[in-house]
A and B are shown apart, each in its own frame.
Chain A
């Protein structure tokens, strides 16, 4: 009985946030772009006209310009670029989502522990993250791939490692600002344990900034996946990945500039989608900051 008003209030808060998001043009454009690519990724085998690894050799050669059959043309190995762009959404979105998810879970946990308990743990955890932040992110990913080797799981780990400190910092800052509130004192006074306070009151309150950061980090992660692919440190061929395909395209730009266009448009659009969504969400959740 005593919990009911709280639940109602929470539902209302979510409803208010949702209404603000819907009203925000940028957030909505971002949502549509993300949904579009999400659908492409999920239904790729049904949407894509061909198997992305199938090679046309013979009547259609490699590096064909766009035709009625191959809307985006074919690449160096005579593979259908449209199908590769569609399947590429799968690789990018899945690697990016897993790595950001790991970064959120680990970062929020360690950041909250550092902020809530302070002292020794705070020093140890945050100094370690300071060291990770001393590496420009793509470089850290390159170093990790150099040790572990390329492949999907290692890319997920590499991106998760350099994304984690950002979430830890946000979680820590939020926890510190919430820790001193009276309702936390009240919870302590009625004998609630630290871990329970952390899980029930503090972490839920830091969700908004975390979601905003997660959306912006998805954009960075997708750029990094493509960047690693472009450097030849990405997923293993013949898996369709936009950055790897662009790297291959670079060798054939002179004869067939079209191969360098479509995978790039895909990366650009989806990254823009996440940036729009994150930015719009930021405006919607922090209306005071909108004009800053």
Chain B
């Protein structure tokens, strides 16, 4: 297990490095002089020269990369608009995104796992067909359109829930359902597939032959093994939500990090864009790593293999 952990953690190094290099190059890929962009509009020649010196933009690329990374984590890298340290802006937004993603994944997991089990147990029945059709609808639904439909129904027609903003629990319900629906569909499909595979195995047939009740077989024996791939998919989907929430955040005016990145593209606040994308990508990688390790804990074959 230690060797497995060490290997996985070691693999993280090149990915982290690659992601940060790619993000660093982002500035150099923008059309125009990076110093001029960083200095913002209406900057004087002296401002531009100061920026060039500060970020070492006259230095070779590897040195620039080092200065950039130091800037991000020391708080030296500032927003081009508000001049506040970028991390100070991004962390509260990131917290909002995590909050939204956590509630969404909870809804998605509860809904998806129960529907998946139901479909697998009643395989080939009308319930199974219904669940599978609903899940295909779910993955085909554009998330922002679902958001709009929910706003039309719940905020405008029935006036039950707020259409946007943040603050109380009522504010999070519509965005969380919107973000969680497609994930619920994916989890339902995965759960069904995983349960069917387990239910086809010999030990389940043996349990049936012993005359154990269906409920006991499903919940005590089958679900335990079926859960391994389900936990994996739930974890991966949570990681995906950190970046994928941008559309939901945009529909409901949820002040998350994805929306901050998009807003910053429009205001040409490139340091925020850069750092925001980097933070999301790095946390996505970390979540995936955690999922991998959890998987190994749950399934001893993986860590020994």
Contact = CB atoms under 8 A, between A and B. Distances in A.
Interface of A: 127-128, 130-131, 134-139, 142-143, 145-147, 219, 223, 226-227, 230-233, 243, 246, 249-250, 253-254, 257, 260-261, 263-264, 267-268, 271-272, 275-276, 279, 291-292
A268 B141 CA distance: 5
B222 to A, nearest CB: 15
Given A257-B156, A275-B139, A267 B197 contact: no
Interface residues of B, number: 49
B247 interface: yes
Interface in B247-295: 247, 250-251, 258, 261-262, 265-266, 270, 273, 277, 280-282, 284-285
A227 B144 contact: yes
Report whether over half of chain A's contact residues are helix, strand or loop; otherwise say mixed: helix
Contacts of B282: 134
Nearest to B277: A143
Contact of B26 (A139, A147, A261): A147
Nearest to A128: B18
Contacts of A292: 193, 196-197
Contact of A231 (B140, B250, B270, B284): B250
Contacts of B123: 291
A116 to B, nearest CB: 23
B142 A279 contact: no
B209 interface: no
Given A231-B246, A253-B148, A139 B142 contact: no
Contacts of B43: none
Interface stretch (B48-56, B103-111, B212-220, B237-245): B237-245
B246 A146 contact: no
A219 B185 CA distance: 15
Give the 4 A-B residue pairs with the shortest CB-CB distance, closest first: A136-B243, A264-B145, A131-B18, A272-B140
28 contacts: A127-B14, A130-B15, A131-B18, A134-B281, A134-B282, A135-B19, A135-B280, A138-B244, A139-B246, A139-B277, A143-B23, A147-B30, A226-B144, A227-B142, A230-B142, A230-B247, A246-B142, A246-B144, A250-B251, A257-B152, A260-B152, A264-B145, A271-B141, A272-B137, A275-B136, A276-B136, A291-B123, A292-B196
Given A135-B281, A292-B196, 9 more contacts: A130-B18, A135-B19, A136-B242, A226-B144, A230-B142, A231-B246, A246-B145, A253-B148, A275-B136
B280 A139 contact: yes
Contacts of A272: 136-137, 140
Contacts of B18: 127-128, 130-131, 134
B151 interface: yes
Contact of A147 (B29, B144, B246): B29
B149 interface: yes
Contact of B156 (A130, A253, A267): A253
Contacts of B262: 142, 231-233
Contacts of B258: 139
A231 B284 CA distance: 22
A237 to B, nearest CB: 15
B244 A131 contact: no
A139 B148 contact: no
B283 to A, nearest CB: 10
Contact of A135 (B140, B251, B284): B284
B22 interface: yes
Contacts of A130: 14-15, 18
Contacts of A137: 244
Contacts of B151: 253
Nearest to A273: B140
A275 B285 contact: no
Nearest to B249: A231
A142 B141 contact: no
Contacts of B26: 143, 146-147
Contacts of A227: 142-144, 247
A268 B243 contact: no
A254 B262 CA distance: 25
A122 B80 CA distance: 40
